[in-house]
Amino acid sequence: MPGDKILLSHGEGGKRTRDLIRKVIVKRFDNPVLAPLFDSGLLGRLDGEIAFTTDGYVVSPAVFPGGDIGRLAVCGTLNDLSVCGARPIAISCSLILEEGFPVETLTTILDSMKAAAAEGNVMVACGDTKVVEKGNADGIFITTAGVGIVSDGWRPAPENVRPGDRVILTGTMGDHQAAVLIARNLLELSARILSDVAPLSSMLLGALSSFGEKVRFMRDPTRGGVGVSLNEMAEASGVRIVLDEGRLPVAESVRGMCEILGFDPLYLANEGKALLIVDGRAAEAIAEALRKTRYGKNAAVIGEVAEGPPGVIMKTVVGGMRAVDYPVGDQLPRIC
């Protein structure tokens, strides 16, 4: 019903809970593992190395330009599996709802979870729903966990990285965080920026199956953005990464916003991008293959792996060199 709100009794285990779970949630995720509503989803026998991941989602606002917390919760977990080279098999969906949350918004969010799961070819195999008193949560929090299988053969990992490799970013930086910041109405900016939230499993697994061991190591640059992920990759691999500032892809609208607010797109979160360290000789071919996929149209080779102490440095557009370090605290706007 329009105007219906989540009540505490939706979480108390009685008829209301049962109705919510069956009619609103399970109806959308319908699949043979979930349908019996056992205490566990039974996945059958899995063959290969098993990858297992989990993530909590608390984004505010829950619905933002380009996506919502539901799409984010599915894509985030799918992408965490995919960058490890794992084919997603099943995910869980645990909802924490605040009393008074509009049922209509919940159904919107569940619909986009369903769509993202279908796109990522993964089933929602188990779930849980809790309701907390008003004021004890911010509308809706979602936790998803995911199980995937790394097929026999090649597994991308930090120890594969060596000098001469190159770094590919699969698209523009910062779209997700920029969209959320604008949706929070921090500044009266009229810019229309859409979050990039997207499931990357088919693109990344496709690259892996075509290029195998030429794909050394992958990460998805979410919180902390490309700047932080690259530092973590350099640290894990024990190598020096040299970025070429002029090759970093940024959407005009995001760059405009960053210029005004004093943000650096290098440190803004992405939810539909991946960083790949690849064999230097195959880098252009891999980037070209990524550009043919739906979520990789702006893929670019942005830097290379060099000898030297671990860390990230950048060759600036005007020809200088500087360090790219971990950021500290919030990116606060400049005051003069």
Residue appearing with tokens 């149209």: 297
Considering only residues 218 to 277 of the shown chain, the ones binding another protein according to CB under 8 A are: 246, 252-253, 255-257, 259-260, 262
Query: Which of these segments, 31-39, 40-48, 102-110, 184-192, binds another protein (CB under 8 A)?
Result: 184-192
Which member of 15, 36, 47, 190 binds another protein (CB under 8 A)? 190
Nearest to 76 by CA among 98, 96, 43, 53: 53
102 versus 311: smaller Cβ distance to another protein: 311
Q: Tokens at residue 16, please?
A: 């209301």
Q: Does 317 bind another protein (CB under 8 A)?
A: yes
Angle at 75 between CA 117 and CA 273, to 5 degrees: 135
Q: Does 191 bind another protein (CB under 8 A)?
A: yes
CB of residue 216 to another protein, shortest distance in Å: 26
Q: Does 8 bind another protein (CB under 8 A)?
A: no
CA dist 36 and 57 (Å) reads 27
Q: Does 308 bind another protein (CB under 8 A)?
A: no
DSSP, residue by residue, 118-143: HHTT-EEEEEEEEEE-TTSSSSEEEE
Q: How many CA atoms lie within 13 A of 332 on its CB side?
A: 5
CB of residue 325 to another protein, shortest distance in Å: 5
Q: Does 187 bind another protein (CB under 8 A)?
A: yes
Q: Does 306 bind another protein (CB under 8 A)?
A: no
CA dist 242 and 230 (Å) reads 10
Q: Does 319 bind another protein (CB under 8 A)?
A: yes
Q: Does 309 bind another protein (CB under 8 A)?
A: no
Query: Which of these segments, 103-111, 183-191, 233-241, 282-290, binds another protein (CB under 8 A)?
Result: 183-191
Q: Does 44 bind another protein (CB under 8 A)?
A: no
How far separated are the first and last CA of the chain, in Å rounded? 50
Q: Is 238 exposed, middle or buried (0-12, 13-18, 19+ CB in 10 A)?
A: exposed
28 versus 315: smaller Cβ distance to another protein: 315
CB of residue 266 to another protein, shortest distance in Å: 10
161 versus 312: smaller Cβ distance to another protein: 312
Residue 206 CB coordination number (10 Å): 16
Q: Does 194 bind another protein (CB under 8 A)?
A: no
1 versus 318: smaller Cβ distance to another protein: 318
Q: Are 277 and 165 in contact (CB under 8 A)?
A: yes
28 versus 255: smaller Cβ distance to another protein: 255
CA dist 95 and 103 (Å) reads 13
# residues near another protein by CB under 8 A: 34
Strands (E), 258-315: 275-278, 300-306, 311-315
Q: Which residues bind another protein (CB under 8 A)?
A: 186-187, 189-191, 246, 252-253, 255-257, 259-260, 262, 313-323, 325, 328-330, 332-336
